[in-house]
């Protein structure tokens, strides 16, 4: 009789746990970034804490750019875009990873954005770099990272594992989530949404959105001649040809006829990149 009662109580507790989990998902759906109805069990506070932990590990493993003029340029450009974004109320951090052969950029949860020197060397204008940063800001605005983590780990593991106190676990997670072909590779829908937001923020900040298109077109040419240089980028993003088509449509929809390219200033900055 007593054992039956224990089993019954456990069943009730499991049911209550499930109900609580579903309620949390529903509540989180109502407060998630731009795409309002995606499950996300992380509060903004937890997202910021998680991003800080991931950023610390990324920066332990990486060599950051030491040229202050270049760092300042990227930080100021990034903040200019943040100010016209749909989520300017959290702190953003823009850092450069000194890897000349790596053509990529990525965003961690909570507003940590990283761009590689290899990508900066491929660009020829402020508008091109603005397009890259605006795309990554779009991921932060839409909270794509924590949505993806919610899908990967769920509520039970999510908060306890990702916000636990074991540094070795964070190190493993960073490798698994952000390495080549990592688990945090976004869906096509996520990438297209980030491109859409990116075009919007570039236009709002006064830049020519064609800079974003021009950069993709450069990558397309590079893919044809030196595909190995784009291995990591292509492992976590939709095909470049698809993105070119999509961005062309977004630019047409924006009906923007002018905007800043910033070629002269950027060439000065580019010459300082090691």
Residue 247 lies in a domain: yes
Query: What is the value of pTM for the model shown?
Result: 0.81
Residue 32 lies in a domain: no
User: What would the pLDDT profile of 71-126 be if each residue is shown by its tens digit?
Assistant: 999 999 999 999 999 999 999 999 999 999 898 899 999 999 999 999 999 999 99
What average pLDDT score do residues 13-28 get? 43
Output the average pLDDT for the chain.
81
Q: Which of 124, 126, 136, 147 is labelled catalytic?
A: 136
User: What would the pLDDT profile of 176-227 be if each residue is shown by its tens digit?
Assistant: 666 544 446 788 889 999 999 999 999 999 999 999 999 999 888 877 756 6
What share of the chain has pLDDT > 90, as a percent?
51
- The rounded distance, in Å, linking the Cα atoms of 67 and 272 is 7
Residue 14 lies in a domain: no
Residue 8 lies in a domain: no
- The rounded distance, in Å, linking the Cα atoms of 168 and 147 is 23
**Domains in the chain, number:** 1
Question: Do 94 and 179 touch, CB atoms closer than 8 A?
Answer: no
Residue 25 lies in a domain: no
- The rounded distance, in Å, linking the Cα atoms of 253 and 128 is 19
Look up 136 and say whether it is catalytic: yes
The token pair at 102 is: 């790596």
The token pair at 56 is: 């610390």
Q: Which of 124, 128, 195, 208 is labelled catalytic?
A: 195
Which regions of 56-156 does DSSP assign to beta strands (E)? 93-97, 105-108, 112-116
Q: What letters, b where the CB count within 10 A reaches 16 and e where it falls short, cover 229-254? A: bbebbbebbbebeebbebbeebbeeb
- The rounded distance, in Å, linking the Cα atoms of 261 and 211 is 7
Q: Which domain holds residue 64?
A: 44-270
Question: Do 110 and 51 touch, CB atoms closer than 8 A?
Answer: yes
* pLDDT score for 8: 47
């Amino acid at each position: 009789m007593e054992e039956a009662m224990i089993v019954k109580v456990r069943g009730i507790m499991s049911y209550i746990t499930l109900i609580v989990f579903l309620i949390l998902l529903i509540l989180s759906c109502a407060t998630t970034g731009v795409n309002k109805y995606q499950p996300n069990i992380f509060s903004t506070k937890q997202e910021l804490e998680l991003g800080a932990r991931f950023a610390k590990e990324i920066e332990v493993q990486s060599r950051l750019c030491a040229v202050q003029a270049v760092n300042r340029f990227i930080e100021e450009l990034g903040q200019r875009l943040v100010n016209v974004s749909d989520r300017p109320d959290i702190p953003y951090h823009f850092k450069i990873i000194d890897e000349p052969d790596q053509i990529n950029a990525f965003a961690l949860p909570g507003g940590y954005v990283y761009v590689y020197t290899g990508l900066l060397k491929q660009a020829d204008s402020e508008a091109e770099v603005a397009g890259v940063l605006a795309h990554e800001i779009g991921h932060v605005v839409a909270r794509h990272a924590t949505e993806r983590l919610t899908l990967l780990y769920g509520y039970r593991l999510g908060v306890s594992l990702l916000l636990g106190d074991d540094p070795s676990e964070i190190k493993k997670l960073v490798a698994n989530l952000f390495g080549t072909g990592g688990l945090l590779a976004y869906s096509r829908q996520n990438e297209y949404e980030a491109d859409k937001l990116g075009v919007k923020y570039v236009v709002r900040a006064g830049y020519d959105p064609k800079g974003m298109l021009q950069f993709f077109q450069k990558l397309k040419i590079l893919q044809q001649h030196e595909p190995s240089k784009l291995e990591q980028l292509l492992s976590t993003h939709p095909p470049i040809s698809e993105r070119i088509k999509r961005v062309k449509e977004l630019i047409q929809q924006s009906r923007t006829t002018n905007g800043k390219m910033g070629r002269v200033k950027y060439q000065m900055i580019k010459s300082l990149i090691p």
